[in-house]
Structure 1
Amino acid sequence: MTDRFRLTLAQLNPTVGDLHGNAAKARDAWQQGKEAGSDMVALPEMFITGYNAQDLVMKQAFHVDAIKVIEQLAADCADGPVLAIGGPWIEGTDLYNAYFICSGGKVIRHVLKHHLPNETVFDEVRIFSSGAPAGPYNVGGVRIGSPICEDAWHEDVTETLEETGAEFLLVPNGSPYYRNKFETRLNHMVARVVETELPLIYLNMTGGQDDQVFDGGSFVLNPGGQIVLQLPVFEVVVAHVDLECTSDGWRALEGPFEKHPDDWEQDYRVMVESLRDYLRKTGFSKVLLGLSGGIDSAIVATVAVDALGAENVRCVMLPSEYTSSESLEDAKELAENLGCRYDYVPIAEGREAITNTLAPLFAGTEADLTEENIQSRLRGLLLMALSNKFGEMLLTTGNKSEVAVGYATIYGDMAGGYNPIKDMYKTRVFDQCRWRNENHRSWMAGQSGEVIPDRIITKPPSAELRDDQKDSDSLPDYPVLDGILQILVDRDGSIADCVAAGFDRADAKKVEHLLYISEYKRFQSAPGPRLTKHAFWLDRRYPIVNRWRDNS
């Protein structure tokens, strides 16, 4: 029996639906493992299809294609290390989330996922059948257990593997980011190691898929819970893990250890990586956005430049008579600091034409929110025209506070293909801007230093759709608004919980009302990266028509 085992971990970034492209990445990682003398090369959960493929994986033609690609991949990787890769598998009429073990040109084992997550962004119960817990597979005389992702969050699957002779655990994952997620993963994996007294290798994928970003951060634990290897977050990495058979069983040798950055850096990187991958995977290379001189469009422009480079970002100022001189100055200064294109497109002439067109129908009525929204919708029309003409994806810039209470104009400033700050509350946007001004990293394509002018961060927020308008005219101050929203949305709390936390009941009821009546806007809003466990879209699914209100 061998006393050494080398495992290659491929922490890679697949693209949903790009079966042959994903297979090529797997083949390249396998070749690296072969050259390094590895016994086995492992890729993450559902890697061949990309993850999270949602209902696409249920389409028969799709999962049949995916299985064929894996079988061809097995044949291509016959002469060398065993290949392990995630993908769909059919038995009878049942569709499974499976882990394919390929050796000698064939698939020799299908490990089937047992625990199917059915919360937050996951709907696996409606997509897959649950596989029965099974024993380990054999690679070169070493018995390996592979609980797939959620299976390692519960003790029964790993207990079965330990009882049936597994000598170490390899856990393939498709685990997306939310703030502080790594600690949650680590705690679960340490529990499995303590229970089984087996080494555990946690392999996660990287890259953005719609609203989700997979953050990598793969790691290796020895019995006792000691981390002996930790890969970087958000990076594509192929790394080798060496295990040694000792008198106490298999143990992983120490490998590279990458310290993970703090929440501010990780959140910002998620926004950058998600936008970069969303553009790359949908076939776009350039973006544009309306630059108002306010803080939200400022951070979105900065994220865009850091993701794509200044040459691929167009900022457009669309002033009206309500646009302040400070906003004009701040927007231009920001664009100059970022080094991106800056276009100046006044809307006065177009607004006058629309006003004249509607005048016969609006005769006898007072000006109100309607006229304000015309400005926003005209801006949306002009920005979409530029998007169509030049093939640049339009970014929208509403923060989570505005998205929550509908403080945005549908078909106006909500127009766009992606929203990098959709899951970031306004109060956090201020601090995230300060963080970016003080920090620069090698993965940022933009300039270092104070790129966002201080006045943009410090001046009172305003939509500037009427004279002397402030956001606080329509909403509670942002610290109050965000505090209430964190209770109602992030904690799924009640009005009574808001009052107990010290908030005024009238404010809480107003926010609750706005939250519920804005559901139809969110239903039509652009996707954006998930930063928390309670992001709008798949994490929180409420009916558009809803007459219930909390009277606690």
Structure 2
Amino acid sequence: MGHLMRIALAQINTTVGDFPGNRSKMLHFARQAAEKNAQVVLFPELSLTGYPPRDLVERPSFLARAAMELEIFAQETESLPLHIVIGSVAASQQGAGKKVLNTASVLYRGREIFRQTKMLLPTYDVFDEGRYFESASEQTLLEIDGIPVALTICEDAWNAKSLHAPHLYRRDPISELRAQGARLLLSINASPFEIGKRQRRRDLFEGIAKEQSLPCVYVNSIGGNDHLVFDGSSFAMNASGGLIAEAPSFSESLTLCDVSLGTGEHKASHLTEPDAVYEALVLGTRDYVAKCGFQKVLLGLSGGIDSSIVACLAVEAFGPENVMGVAMPGPYSSEHSVTDARAMAERLGIRFEISPIQAAYHTVVETLSPLFAGLAPDVTEENLQARLRGVTLMALSNKFGAMVLTTGNKSELAVGYCTLYGDMCGGLAVISDIPKTLVYELCRVANRRLNNAIPENVFVKPPSAELRPDQTDQDSLPPYDVLDAILKGYIERFESPQQIADELQLPISLVREIARKVDLNEYKRQQAAPGLKVTSKAFGMGRRIPIAQRYRE
């Protein structure tokens, strides 16, 4: 590339609908980029509106506000001698089709000089862009200082020839722009985190760079918005696919590169995948709670592995002074459930309270006994205990203005090993996409970071809901390593019970029983608190299974 091209990658944490806050953040980063002599500053996809705005874009007032805020931002940056690329929405001028466009606007010296519309609109997993946006029929080149530039938005890159997965779309915007003469690719993104995704993005763009002989600059959002966590991990590559700049994962950053010189800043957070998942959960929890207007959280502390990891994540997200742990011993609670919970609360420095449920439990059982006359005790009485704990936590939430964090993991939610209006009560299901086996790994990460806050006994004792004498999870479920392998095949890979049984060399009866439990408990999951997505298929907005249905594998 003949001309010098100094580009700033501004990965920022935006809030959906917070136009003044998002604009102010972008102004701060744009000024920083100008001070560092960047010629271009790149902001993420839909950075002005926050991502994903979902049905807000169907409100005419939202589109009008976006247009107004874009003009204000252009005026605010008039004195800055650089090209500013920001993501927003715009009203479609087409007579037919969707009313909204997902756009990348280029601002220079107070004016919008170029606008590109997103062409490829994902409608799989958590994405629903075909519901809202009109696709671009054509895209054109942007010229910056005489250099023809391909400017694309997120999914526009995910149909490249280098992608080995099945191609979803008939068009390949990057190949089309390269054929028009592009000599540089700028890609703005709001690409959510999931395990393995950071490497997949790099592999994709390395393939594009080599195949098209194009330097590639990729900027991504960071932060949590509802179920989704965005990890940043922005980067730049030379035309041979070599990494010339990299931004950190899970924190805001302004990272510079010179694409003509093939040089740039390296700020990567070289995290293993368990460490990355841990960081994603801290960030997602912090942002969900704060963006919903809360400062404090509380949770039930049972001395078990699940509540232990949620407590650690909460401490990292909010500081120990903003976290309360509550032990709620019942008629079958073991002594170690309270002592382990207390030991961990002391090591973490959080407020710890004990609120026994025995008296309330016996009162409710007594009140119901005339109605239950002649019927043997069963799961009803077990669930009463969980529901009394839910009542306790929600009362404390109301009284102290703290959000309740639920502590159920993905393995339990999958098979319905959880109680509606009991341990499912709360505002955020922090680990609802974390299989039980991964919970143990994350607890080891927590102990490395928090000075062995989780007592060793928590790792070694058999998991138990403690709702009847000497109960353990394995009374009703296979060992968690077996269960998680079955669930991964059934939920994430869409495999049939027979395929899973053959693959894992398990009895088909066991796999069918687990699949049956997954299918039967859809009604519970659709009433659960929102959870944070970290796997390829989480419960929630990306998995749309009917509740009242009779299809069985």
Question: Is the pair's TM-score, using the shorter chain for normalization, greater than 0.5?
Answer: yes
TM value normalised by structure 1:
0.95
Query: Which residue number corresponds to residue 357 of structure 2?
Result: 347
Measured in 2, the distance between the counterparts of 1:524 and 1:420 equals 15
Measured in 1, the distance between the counterparts of 2:391 and 2:323 equals 19
Out of 175, 184, 194, the position equivalent to 1:178 is 194
Query: Which residue number corresponds to residue 538 of structure 1?
Result: 541
Measured in 1, the distance between the counterparts of 2:102 and 2:238 equals 27
The one-letter amino acid of 1:79's match is S
The alignment partner of 1:193 has SS state of helix
The alignment partner of 1:147 has SS state of strand
Judge which range, 392-401 or 483-492, deviates more: 483-492
Question: Are the equivalent residues in 1 in contact too, given 2:105–2:115 (CA < 8 A)?
Answer: yes
Judge which range, 350-359 or 282-291, deviates more: 350-359
* Matches for 1:139-288 after TM superposition, within 5 Å: 139-155=144-160, 156-244=172-260, 251-288=261-298
Query: Which residue number corresponds to residue 57 of structure 2?
Result: 57
Query: Which residue number corresponds to residue 399 of structure 1?
Result: 409
* Matches for 1:16-95 after TM superposition, within 5 Å: 16-80=16-80, 81-92=82-93, 94-95=99-100
The alignment partner of 1:72 has SS state of helix
1:315-359 per-residue CA deviation (whole Å, 9 max, x = no partner) reads 001111200011121111111111101101111121122122212
Measured in 1, the distance between the counterparts of 2:402 and 2:545 equals 32
Measured in 2, the distance between the counterparts of 1:494 and 1:83 equals 49
Query: Which residue number corresponds to residue 169 of structure 2?
Result: none
Measured in 2, the distance between the counterparts of 1:21 and 1:453 equals 42
Out of 110, 119, 125, the position equivalent to 2:124 is 119
Question: Are the equivalent residues in 1 in contact too, given 2:387–2:421 (CA < 8 A)?
Answer: yes
Pairing 1:455–2:471 present:
no
Query: Which residue number corresponds to residue 524 of structure 1?
Result: 527
Q: What is the CA distance between 1:481 and its match in structure 2? A: 1.3
Q: What is the CA distance between 1:539 and its match in structure 2? A: 2.5
Judge which range, 354-363 or 312-321, deviates more: 354-363
Query: Which residue number corresponds to residue 468 of structure 2?
Result: 466
Measured in 2, the distance between the counterparts of 1:163 and 1:542 equals 42
Measured in 1, the distance between the counterparts of 2:445 and 2:2 equals 51
Query: Which residue number corresponds to residue 390 of structure 2?
Result: 380
Query: Which residue number corresponds to residue 477 of structure 1?
Result: 479
Measured in 2, the distance between the counterparts of 1:517 and 1:115 equals 36
The alignment partner of 2:406 has SS state of coil
Measured in 2, the distance between the counterparts of 1:79 and 1:2 equals 27
1:153-186 per-residue CA deviation (whole Å, 9 max, x = no partner) reads 2232112222223221110000010001012111
Out of 83, 96, 103, the position equivalent to 2:101 is 96
Question: Are the equivalent residues in 2 in contact too, given 1:44–1:172 (CA < 8 A)?
Answer: yes
Question: Are the equivalent residues in 1 in contact too, given 2:245–2:256 (CA < 8 A)?
Answer: no
The alignment partner of 2:131 has SS state of helix
Query: Which residue number corresponds to residue 112 of structure 2?
Result: 107
Query: Which residue number corresponds to residue 163 of structure 2?
Result: none
The alignment partner of 1:239 has SS state of strand
Superposition misfits of 4+ residues, deviation over 3 angstroms: none
The alignment partner of 2:394 has SS state of helix
The one-letter amino acid of 2:83's match is V
The one-letter amino acid of 1:48's match is L
Measured in 1, the distance between the counterparts of 2:298 and 2:9 equals 38
Identity of aligned residues (%): 41
Measured in 2, the distance between the counterparts of 1:460 and 1:62 equals 52
Question: Are the equivalent residues in 2 in contact too, given 1:289–1:395 (CA < 8 A)?
Answer: yes
Structure 2, unaligned runs of 5 or more: 161-171
Query: Which residue number corresponds to residue 427 of structure 1?
Result: 437
The alignment partner of 2:426 has SS state of coil
1:87-113 per-residue CA deviation (whole Å, 9 max, x = no partner) reads 001122531110011123121221000
Q: What is the CA distance between 1:534 and its match in structure 2? A: 0.9
Measured in 1, the distance between the counterparts of 2:34 and 2:245 equals 21
Measured in 2, the distance between the counterparts of 1:42 and 1:53 equals 20
Measured in 1, the distance between the counterparts of 2:237 and 2:423 equals 48
Question: Are the equivalent residues in 2 in contact too, given 1:228–1:257 (CA < 8 A)?
Answer: no
Query: Which residue number corresponds to residue 137 of structure 1?
Result: 142
Query: Which residue number corresponds to residue 444 of structure 1?
Result: none
Judge which range, 400-409 or 482-491, deviates more: 482-491
Question: Are the equivalent residues in 1 in contact too, given 2:329–2:355 (CA < 8 A)?
Answer: yes
Measured in 2, the distance between the counterparts of 1:334 and 1:48 equals 42
Q: What is the CA distance between 1:43 and its match in structure 2? A: 0.5
Q: What is the CA distance between 1:252 and its match in structure 2? A: 3.1
Measured in 1, the distance between the counterparts of 2:232 and 2:434 equals 22
1:353-410 per-residue CA deviation (whole Å, 9 max, x = no partner) reads 2122212211221111111111110110011000000000001000000010110000
Query: Which residue number corresponds to residue 512 of structure 2?
Result: 509
Measured in 2, the distance between the counterparts of 1:25 and 1:408 equals 41
The one-letter amino acid of 2:112's match is V
User: CA 1:341/1:257 → structure 2, altered by over 3 Å: closer, same or farther?
Assistant: closer
Measured in 2, the distance between the counterparts of 1:125 and 1:82 equals 30
How many residue pairs match? The answer is 536
TM value normalised by structure 2:
0.95
Question: Are the equivalent residues in 1 in contact too, given 2:123–2:130 (CA < 8 A)?
Answer: yes
User: CA 1:152/1:288 → structure 2, altered by over 3 Å: closer, same or farther?
Assistant: same
Pairing 1:323–2:330 present:
no
Measured in 1, the distance between the counterparts of 2:462 and 2:483 equals 15
CA RMSD of aligned residues (A): 1.4
Q: What is the CA distance between 1:483 and its match in structure 2? A: 1.5
The one-letter amino acid of 2:418's match is A
The one-letter amino acid of 2:207's match is A
The alignment partner of 1:385 has SS state of helix
1:108-138 per-residue CA deviation (whole Å, 9 max, x = no partner) reads 2210000111111101111111002322112
Query: Which residue number corresponds to residue 301 of structure 1?
Result: 311
Judge which range, 54-63 or 23-32, deviates more: 54-63
The alignment partner of 2:89 has SS state of strand
The one-letter amino acid of 1:549's match is R
Question: Are the equivalent residues in 1 in contact too, given 2:531–2:540 (CA < 8 A)?
Answer: no
Measured in 1, the distance between the counterparts of 2:400 and 2:269 equals 42
Query: Which residue number corresponds to residue 366 of structure 1?
Result: 376
Judge which range, 212-221 or 52-61, deviates more: 52-61
Q: What is the CA distance between 1:2 and its match in structure 2? A: 7.7
The one-letter amino acid of 2:334's match is S
Measured in 2, the distance between the counterparts of 1:406 and 1:177 equals 26
The one-letter amino acid of 1:409's match is T
Question: Are the equivalent residues in 2 in contact too, given 1:286–1:308 (CA < 8 A)?
Answer: yes
User: CA 1:360/1:188 → structure 2, altered by over 3 Å: closer, same or farther?
Assistant: same
Question: Are the equivalent residues in 2 in contact too, given 1:206–1:216 (CA < 8 A)?
Answer: yes
Question: Are the equivalent residues in 2 in contact too, given 1:209–1:274 (CA < 8 A)?
Answer: yes
